[in-house]
Chains A and B, each alone.
Chain A
Amino acid sequence: MRVLFLCYRGNPYCGGQGIYLYHLTRELARLGVEIDVLVGPPYPFPMEEWADVHRLENLNLWFIRTRHIPPEKLKRVWSPWNFVDYFLTRFHVFSEMETFSFRAFSALRRLLKERHYDLIHDVQCLGWGLLPMKGFGIPIVTTVHHPLTKDREADLGVDKTFWEYVTTVLFYPMNMQRIVINHLDRVITSSQEGVIELNRAFGLPARNISVVYNGMDVELFRNTGERREENALLFVGNTEDHKKGLRYLLEAMTMLPGEINLTIVDEGPPARLTAWELVQRYGMEKRVVFTGKVSSERLVHLYSTKTVLVMSSLYEGFGLPAAEAMACGTPVVVTTAGALPEVVGDEGAGILVPPMDPRGLAEGIMKIIRDKRGRKKMGVLGRRRTEANFAWPVAAANTLAVYEDVIRSRGRSV
């Protein structure tokens, strides 16, 4: 089987899709799938060992004012798709997905002259260009971890002025995604909650959606064997993202004994002030530490040495930090928001509390902190659950099963 992946941003440090592309293609290749990739910048780490990578251009202009566009990019603005990108981004439209999909369409036309594809796998681009691609008769599958409606709602929730509202509405290509997603052969999402959200956001029928749990590197995320600290809470996530519900965790902190401290894995002041303002408001300056951005190795160290990971989220498309902590044998206290109950499971790897409930969070945290033996058991169960459900080879095998199902449903042989 030969599969063509489309990914508008391929770098692992540039969002989840880069990580997804890198690991999933590697594991699929190990299962015998031939992989080609059309990818936009920032480009992925070298994948040539297992995939044929074709890099497509994009100037990434959306956050740059015209006067500040670097000369080397300005020189390239005149090509048709670059000019479309330039034009639309001046109106605060995030056009990268649209233009990437059209560039991919042109590239695919060239590629099809010399090779055949059994399936196209789009990684949450959903650009207009996918519609003409259907004309080639190749089944198209897309992966959407959570619909952009969730991000838009979160942004609208914190917008203060009319202009901020306008730019938020313009930024998210909701109409394009709504139309395109309903024309694809199958949508892969990472949780049952995702099925509900995709139906709510895009009116997508459940029969067109397959659930494949996200993969993670269970070999990297493994307990280091270091001594675990007592009374040490860990929060991993973007503190500017109001969906993370950090406010409720800090409110819960006020109900916990003073010796309990919190480490936040994200930038603190002066780079990011939202969380710091909250910390000050709750008088937690001496009990909260920001680590800034950390390497994977340091993150594994933090997971392995802190007492408990807390996720106070109001919504999670998947909840990777919970899975990573569980892989490191760390108990978790998470809300029942989004896909978190599916990630933590009901085997006893963690405690689930309702979202927006600081008292519930505080009680869950205290329960784990007081029960040292229970913590160990939770850690073992968490590790077992992640190995069985969230390892990349498992994700790849399940994705391949979806491919085969889609191809068969088109009346073709696999």
Chain B
Amino acid sequence: MPRAKFFGWIALLVSLVLGGLFFYYAFYLTGFRDLNLTALSDYSYYALILPIALVALVILGTGFWIGWTILTIKVAPPMPEIVEKKDFAKVKAFLLCLVTLSLSALFIYGIYLRSYWALAVPAAAVTLVVLGMIFWVGVAIITTRATLPEDKKS
């Protein structure tokens, strides 16, 4: 097996195993229940929640910023007919702002309540996206032909 394909398989397996382990320990083992984290000391709780909150709020903030930019941008298109072709972009941008604001509020409320979900959901989202990226590179390496097939070599 070529070296690159070997690493492709490794990437695929590692991401699947880690993703499975994360799901098992973070959700399955807890019985999908909202555990209360009040048993943790304040310092332990904030040591966990602060980095997660930072990442989650940056992502939600980026979503809000995108929506806000689309909502507020003033562009005089050089071709007026383009305006007619546009879909309901401003409405969707408004919805994006609304959704990101609502999620942010919900997240902050969850932190206040010391809800397990406030910790687990953003951690799951980030972990699964990163593992998904690694998985997708693995698939791409395995399914890409690294060299020309025999009949194409001349």
Question: A residues within 8 Å of B by Cβ?
Answer: 66-67, 69-71, 74-75, 77-78, 86-87, 90, 153, 156-162, 165-166, 169-170, 242-243, 245, 247-248, 314, 356
Contacts and interface: CB of A to CB of B under 8 A. Distances in A.
26 contacts: A66-B137, A66-B140, A67-B140, A69-B144, A70-B144, A71-B144, A74-B141, A77-B137, A86-B133, A87-B130, A153-B73, A156-B75, A157-B75, A157-B77, A159-B89, A160-B85, A161-B86, A162-B88, A162-B89, A165-B70, A165-B93, A166-B66, A169-B69, A242-B78, A247-B79, A314-B78
B146 interface: yes
A157 B76 contact: yes
B79 A74 contact: no
Contact of A162 (B85, B87, B130, B146): B87
A247 B81 CA distance: 12
A87 to B, nearest CB: 6
A69 B77 contact: no
A162 B75 contact: no
Contact of A71 (B75, B93, B141): B141
A117 to B, nearest CB: 34
Nearest to A75: B4
Nearest to B130: A87
Q: Is the interface of A mostly helix, strand, loop or mixed?
A: helix
Nearest to A153: B75
A74 B141 CA distance: 7
A226 to B, nearest CB: 34
Contacts of B70: 156, 162, 165-166, 169
Residue of A71, A86, A314 with highest tally of chain B CB at under 10 A: A71
Interface of B: 4, 7-8, 65-66, 69-70, 73, 75-79, 82, 85-89, 92-93, 130, 133, 136-137, 140-141, 143-146
A156 B86 CA distance: 11
A74 B144 contact: yes
A158 B77 CA distance: 7
A177 to B, nearest CB: 15
A166 B137 CA distance: 24
Contact of A78 (B7, B79, B87, B144): B7
B56 to A, nearest CB: 16
Contacts of A87: 130, 133
A242 B81 CA distance: 13
B73 A161 contact: no
A69 B65 CA distance: 30
A162 B137 contact: no
Nearest to A67: B140
B66 A169 contact: yes
B136 A71 contact: no
A69 B76 CA distance: 37
A160 B137 contact: no
Contacts of B145: 71
A71 B146 CA distance: 6
B87 A247 contact: no
